[in-house]
Amino acid sequence: MGLPKIAIDAEVLSNETVGNSVKKLVVACSEIAGQANPGEFVHLRVDRSGLLLRRPISIADTDIDKGQLTFIYRIIGKGTAAMAELKSGDTINCLGPMGHGFSLDCENPLLIGGGIGIAPLLFLAKKFNGKASILMGGRTTEEMFWPEIFKDFVKDIFITTDDGSMGTKGFTVTALPQILQDNNYDRIVVCGPEIMMSGIAEIAAAHHISCQVSMEKRMACGLGACLSCTCKGNDNSRKKVCKDGPVFWAWEVL
């Protein structure tokens, strides 16, 4: 049995824009910050929004000493639009920490993120304490504000952009084989679009490197009861992303 989930009205400390339609929300929530592990998420509700369902947002960082949680999110719908309107001193209801996080039993991991899927890898990079490297992909330079955020917490940063305006032109899956040839990684951790994660998982398997993926699904309850966030496992079972995940070994689900 895990620790009980906590539901609490957390004070908003800041909610600043960090990229195009991307914001960083910092809240005071020592109860969840003290329990959270990389890869887990929090189910957020903006009570004044009138929206019934919570929104699952991955934890981008914690500060246990200050009792703070950080979320980096993209404004893509009514829920995140309501979050974007929050100001310092407002409150947001936090339920968590939810789900299962990443395994840390490796010595030389490569983290791979695409788009807003890069966000939960920051918490993980900090937990690895300088052991990890990261490959990050985006469409254009405008989307690649991430290197500045990660630079103090990883060994190496590899960048791809669809248009070649920063780093290598192309996608993470096209850059990965050469990166693996030049380095000796013992774990790949990936979060991003499912088609990207599937391609990364295939390359990892071909190189005999263990791989974990962080799945994203729309969900209602976040507790495994409503079954709205299931995905198909490789054993033909239905995996609950909210409860069995969101982090899985690639062979379980892809």
Alpha-helical runs (H) found in the chain = 30-33, 78-84, 119-128, 146-150, 172-182, 194-206, 250-253
Question: Are 144 and 197 in a shared domain?
Answer: yes
Give the tokens for residue 101. Answer: 């996080």
Give the tokens for residue 219. Answer: 């969900």
Q: Is 103 a member of any domain?
A: no
Read off the pTM: 0.94
Instruction: Scan for tokens 């630079």, then name that residue.
Output: 151
Q: How many residues are listed for the chain in this entry?
A: 254
Residue 248: which domain range?
A: 109-253
Count of domains in the chain? 2
Residue among 22, 146, 10, 8 at smallest CA distance from 84: 22
Q: What is the pLDDT along the chain (254 residues), one digit of tens a residue?
A: 456 688 999 999 999 999 999 999 999 999 999 999 999 999 999 988 788 889 999 999 999 999 999 999 999 999 999 999 999 999 999 999 999 999 999 999 999 999 999 999 999 999 999 999 999 999 999 999 999 999 999 999 999 999 999 999 999 999 999 999 999 999 999 999 999 999 999 999 999 999 999 987 665 556 656 666 566 667 767 766 777 769 999 999 86
Question: Are 194 and 215 in a shared domain?
Answer: yes
DSSP 115: G
Beta carbons of 232 and 252 less than 8 angstroms apart: no
User: In this structure, what CATH number is given to the domain that contains residue 185?
Assistant: 3.40.50.80
Phi, psi of 45 (to 5 degrees): -135, 125
119: three-class secondary structure by DSSP? helix
